Amino acid sequence: MPKSLNIKFEKAVRILSEYMPPSDENSRKPVIFHDIRVGVYLYENGYPEDVVLAGVLHDAIEWSGADEQLLRDEFGDNVVRLISACTKDDAIEDKEERTNELIQRCAQNGQDALIVKTADIIDSFKWYVGQNNDDELKNHCVKNANAIFKFKPKDFDDKIFDELKSWQERFTS
């Protein structure tokens, strides 16, 4: 990967560390570390620059004080489009409806947006396995994986979806 992506990746991490509230023992998971892992996963698997940067920043609009304009100025319209696609709509009160709307929006925004969301869920599977948190595995991870496969267009063909399928099958009863 080019040095310029490494510099932009670092810039994304600096923005997260400046604008993201600190995690504590009551947090579901440490958000900045999660976001970095998602970005690193995408980086190490050779995804395009905008996908990698959106992976690092996928929680920025939802959980931090960084707004769309700041992110647009630093990373461009496409990265913000991908982040926005992966940002849940808290105005939707029903959790299942909120998840379905989010995944549908990712799919409507194209394969790259759904890849970012899928990397997010794969990292969540890994995190909650390490925490022995069966509740989050079934009620968050499997629920999101089910929605991804429900709304993923048939022509979205990437190895990441195969990896998610193996995680989904492992925890589906």
- For residue 173, name the pLDDT band (cuts at 50, 70, 90): low
Q: What percent of the chain has pLDDT over 90?
A: 92
CATH superfamily of the 3-171 domain:
Hypothetical protein af1432 (1.10.3210.10)
Residues 6+ apart with CB under 8 A from 115: 42, 47, 51, 158, 160
Residue showing tokens 């549908």: 104
Give the sign of the dihedral formed by CA 12, CA 15, CA 30, CA 128. Answer: negative
Say what the pLDDT of residue 25 is: 78
pLDDT digits 0-9 by tens, 83-140: 999 999 999 999 999 999 999 999 999 999 999 999 999 999 999 999 999 999 999 9
**Cα 121 from Cα 116, distance rounded (Å):** 9
Residues 6+ apart with CB under 8 A from 17: 32
Q: Is the pLDDT of residue 23 over 90?
A: no
* pTM of the predicted protein model: 0.96
Say what the pLDDT of residue 50 is: 98
Say what the pLDDT of residue 106 is: 98
**Cα 122 from Cα 18, distance rounded (Å):** 26
